[in-house]
Amino acid sequence: EVGSELQRAMESRDVEALRAAIELATQACVDGKLVKQAEQVLKEEEPRQRAREMLKEACQQREIAALKEAIQAAESAKLDPAELVEASDILRQEEAKMKALEGVNQALEDVKGVDM
């Protein structure tokens, strides 16, 4: 029973389920090889989960630096490129806003410098 629960947790790749199943399997002295496999899956999934959380937070904040950091973390964690689309789109929008704002500020500086 505990072994099959561990197997289901590995298939789901859910970090919390994996942690709980690994703990139960270790206490129940389930086959060490199966536990090692689950620990490997957990090791792969933890950075992915952190990257997903970073992407979600960065998309809400809409800050360029946070978006770039989250996208880099997601790429390092080898997330599916589809999971990066929203953050990449928001990053492009925010960079375009920043560039437009810089243009407006430059135009204002130019106007200030004109003699009347």
Give per-residue pLDDT as tens, 61-111: 999 999 999 999 999 999 999 999 999 999 999 999 999 998 888 888 888
Number of domains in the chain: 1
The full DSSP string for 59-98 is HHHT-HHHHHHHHHHHHHTT--GGGGHHHHHHHHHHHHHH
**What is the pLDDT, as a whole number, of residue 61?**
92
Q: Which domain holds residue 91?
A: 2-113
Total-model pTM = 0.73
**What is the pLDDT, as a whole number, of residue 3?**
75
**What is the pLDDT, as a whole number, of residue 109?**
86
